[in-house]
């Protein structure tokens, strides 16, 4: 049924690519993705892909620029090998936070990243929980923005009684995402953390809007990077009377002091997905649990290939 499909992986998250292949019951395509001695990327596709539908799995996570170049170079190699159609499957789209000019003389890096992927030869992009949904419009190619929500909601339903449970968005921008989660959880209440960021990577909590007293609160966010937003948010929630605080988050970027901060924090658990592989330090953190989005991405790839609706996966 999927005989004209071939999936390749860069080095960013091969285990996710293998899980996706397992879900689709196909073998991961053979490709050499290595570096020359000067660290330039070297790619060779090891099988015939003429007129095949190619899917390249590569989140652009750390080292971001290196993984980004691997993706672009793999797309270029596939285009020159006469693939019929090339889909860049970018479960975590790096540079997405640079989605607008917030001050004079700064780039819009998300637009540049999209331009480079398309210029390399991608015909379509599949991604997940884009930091800003308008990034879909940064190209005229089709972009399928998947949501980890069904997988994270399943975890919440399986592990937390809904009575006395509330959700909290770590900032005003994430409120609609948090509301969408709440809707699937019998419309439980939500709070919004009023956060400001005086400097990059230094979020400060100003206020908590909403009633969290005596409740178990789950913070909802798309990205955990340095951990400041979720950790400071958890502290603020406890200070205004929450009983305990947990968090769900799609992309575990976990850079800088993140793990140390999480370990020392009042946050009781952090549930993330495998869009980005965890470092050894993150794997050793007993508060972090990982749920897999491989079946969801696998189903979305199948829908794209067979022409079925991707939206139906989220109804
Ligand atoms: C911000 O708008 C995002 O949704 C995340 O809250 C943010 O990127 C998390 O970064 P950090 O963990 O460094 O606070």
Burial class of residue 262 in the structure, from the number of CB atoms within 10 Å of its CB (0-12 exposed, 13-18 middle, 19+ buried): buried
Asked if residue 228 has its Cβ within 6 Å of ligand 1, the reply is yes
Q: What is the mean pLDDT of residues 220-243?
A: 96
Confidence category of residue 233, pLDDT binned at 50, 70, 90: very high
CA 87 to chain centre: 17
Atom of ligand 1 nearest to the CA of 258: 12
Q: What is the mean pLDDT of residues 173-179?
A: 95
Q: Are residues 87 and 220 in the same domain?
A: no
Q: Are residues 190 and 286 in the same domain?
A: yes
Q: What is the mean pLDDT of residues 151-177?
A: 96
Residue ranges of alpha helices (H) inside the chain are 14-24, 64-80, 109-120, 149-159, 175-183, 228-239, 258-264, 280-283, 294-306
Asked if residue 265 has its Cβ within 6 Å of ligand 1, the reply is no
Report the separation in Å between the CA atom of 215 and the middle of ligand 1, taken as the mean of its atom positions. 24
Q: Are residues 111 and 43 in the same domain?
A: yes
pLDDT on residue 91: 98
Domain that holds residue 204: 149-291
- State pLDDT tens for residues 280-298: 999 999 999 999 999 999 9
Report the separation in Å between the CA atom of 222 and the middle of ligand 1, taken as the mean of its atom positions. 8
Confidence category of residue 200, pLDDT binned at 50, 70, 90: confident
Report the separation in Å between the CA atom of 220 and the middle of ligand 1, taken as the mean of its atom positions. 11
Nearest-angstrom CA–CA distance, 147 and 133: 11
Nearest-angstrom CA–CA distance, 302 and 181: 25
pLDDT on residue 315: 83
Q: Are residues 104 and 45 in the same domain?
A: yes
Ligand 1 mutation pick, 102, 223, 267, max ligand atoms within 8 A of CB: 223
- Across the beta sheet with 216-224, the strand order is 202-209, 190-199, 165-169, 216-224, 244-252, 267-273, 288-291
Nearest-angstrom CA–CA distance, 40 and 224: 29
Q: What is the mean pLDDT of residues 205-222?
A: 94
Choose among 94, 106, 99, 32: nearest CA to 66: 94
What CATH number does the domain containing 171 carry?
3.40.50.2020
Q: Are residues 124 and 169 in the same domain?
A: no
Q: Are residues 126 and 33 in the same domain?
A: yes
Q: Are residues 168 and 128 in the same domain?
A: no
- State pLDDT tens for residues 57-113: 999 999 999 999 999 999 999 999 999 999 999 999 999 999 999 999 999 999 999
Atom of ligand 1 nearest to the CA of 222: 4
For the packed helices 294-306 and 14-24, what is the interaxial angle rounded to 10 degrees?
A: 60
pLDDT on residue 197: 76
Tally the domains of the chain.
2
Whether the per-residue pLDDT at 263 is higher than 90: the answer is yes
Positions marked catalytic: 195
Q: Are residues 218 and 280 in the same domain?
A: yes
Report the chain's mean pLDDT, rounded to a whole number: 96
Whether the per-residue pLDDT at 203 is higher than 80: the answer is no
Asked if residue 298 has its Cβ within 6 Å of ligand 1, the reply is no
The b/e string for 227-237 (b: 16+ C-beta within 10 A; e otherwise) is bbbbbbbbebb
Asked if residue 229 has its Cβ within 6 Å of ligand 1, the reply is yes
Nearest-angstrom CA–CA distance, 210 and 164: 14
Lowest average pLDDT, out of 16-25, 118-127, 139-148, 198-207, goes to 198-207
Asked if residue 216 has its Cβ within 6 Å of ligand 1, the reply is no
pLDDT on residue 199: 77
Cβ–Cβ < 8 Å for 2, 55: no
Ligand 1 mutation pick, 96, 176, 199, 224, max ligand atoms within 8 A of CB: 224
Q: Are residues 34 and 136 in the same domain?
A: yes
pLDDT on residue 201: 74
> Is 314 strand, coil or helix?
helix
Report the separation in Å between the CA atom of 225 and the middle of ligand 1, taken as the mean of its atom positions. 6
Report the separation in Å between the CA atom of 223 and the middle of ligand 1, taken as the mean of its atom positions. 5
Nearest-angstrom CA–CA distance, 30 and 140: 30
Asked if residue 225 has its Cβ within 6 Å of ligand 1, the reply is yes
pLDDT on residue 261: 97
How many other C-beta atoms are found inside a 10 Å radius of the C-beta of residue 57?
29
Confidence category of residue 240, pLDDT binned at 50, 70, 90: very high
pLDDT on residue 257: 95
Q: Are residues 236 and 128 in the same domain?
A: no
pLDDT on residue 202: 74
Q: Are residues 180 and 251 in the same domain?
A: yes
Closest Cα to atom 3, ligand 1: which residue? 223
Asked if residue 221 has its Cβ within 6 Å of ligand 1, the reply is yes
Q: What is the pTM assigned to this prediction? A: 0.96
Cβ–Cβ < 8 Å for 244, 265: no
Nearest-angstrom CA–CA distance, 159 and 289: 12
How many other C-beta atoms are found inside a 10 Å radius of the C-beta of residue 93?
27
pLDDT on residue 132: 95
Atom of ligand 1 nearest to the CA of 229: 14
Cβ–Cβ < 8 Å for 167, 150: no
Q: Are residues 74 and 158 in the same domain?
A: no
Choose among 259, 293, 287, 253: nearest CA to 273: 293
Cβ–Cβ < 8 Å for 165, 185: yes
Nearest-angstrom CA–CA distance, 235 and 231: 6
Question: Could you tell me whether strands 31-35 and 190-199 are parallel, antiparallel, or unpaired per DSSP bridges?
Answer: unpaired
Asked if residue 222 has its Cβ within 6 Å of ligand 1, the reply is yes
pLDDT on residue 58: 99
Report the separation in Å between the CA atom of 228 and the middle of ligand 1, taken as the mean of its atom positions. 7
Confidence category of residue 195, pLDDT binned at 50, 70, 90: confident
Asked if residue 203 has its Cβ within 6 Å of ligand 1, the reply is yes
Which residues does 272 contact at the CB level (< 8 Å), separation at least 6? 224, 248, 249, 250, 251, 252, 278, 288, 289, 290, 291
Q: What is the mean pLDDT of residues 253-267?
A: 98
Closest Cα to atom 5, ligand 1: which residue? 223
pLDDT on residue 1: 82
Cβ–Cβ < 8 Å for 216, 160: yes
């Amino acid at each position: 049924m999927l005989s004209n499909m071939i999936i390749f992986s860069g080095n960013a998250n091969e285990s996710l690519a293998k899980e996706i292949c397992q879900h689709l019951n196909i073998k991961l395509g053979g490709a050499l993705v290595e570096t020359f001695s000067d660290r330039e990327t070297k790619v060779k596709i090891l099988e015939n892909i003429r007129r095949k539908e190619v899917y390249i799995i590569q989140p652009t996570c750390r080292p971001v620029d290196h993984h980004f170049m691997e993706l672009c170079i793999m797309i270029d190699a596939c285009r020159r090998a006469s693939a019929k159609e090339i889909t860049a499957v970018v479960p975590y789209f790096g540079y997405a936070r640079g989605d607008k000019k917030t001050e004079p003389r700064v780039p819009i890096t998300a637009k540049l990243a999209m331009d480079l992927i398309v210029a390399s030869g991608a015909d379509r992009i599949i991604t997940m929980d884009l930091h800003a949904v308008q990034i879909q419009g940064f190209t005229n190619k089709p972009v399928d923005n998947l949501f980890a929500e069904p997988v994270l909601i399943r975890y919440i339903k399986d592990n937390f009684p809904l009575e006395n449970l509330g959700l909290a968005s770590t900032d005003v921008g994430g409120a609609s995402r948090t509301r969408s989660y709440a809707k699937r959880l019998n419309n439980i209440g939500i709070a919004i953390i009023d956060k400001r960021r005086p400097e990059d990577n230094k979020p400060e909590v100003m206020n908590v809007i909403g009633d969290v007293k005596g409740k178990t609160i789950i913070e909802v966010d798309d990205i955990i990077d340095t951990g400041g937003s979720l950790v400071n948010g958890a502290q603020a929630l406890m200070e205004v009377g929450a009983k305990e605080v947990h968090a769900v988050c799609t992309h575990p970027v976990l850079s800088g002091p993140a793990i140390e901060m999480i370990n020392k924090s009042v946050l009781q658990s952090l549930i993330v997905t495998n869009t980005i592989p965890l470092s050894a330090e993150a794997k050793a953190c007993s508060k972090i649990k990982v749920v897999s989005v491989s079946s969801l991405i696998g189903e979305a790839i199948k829908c794209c290939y067979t022409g079925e609706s991707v939206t139906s996966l989220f109804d």
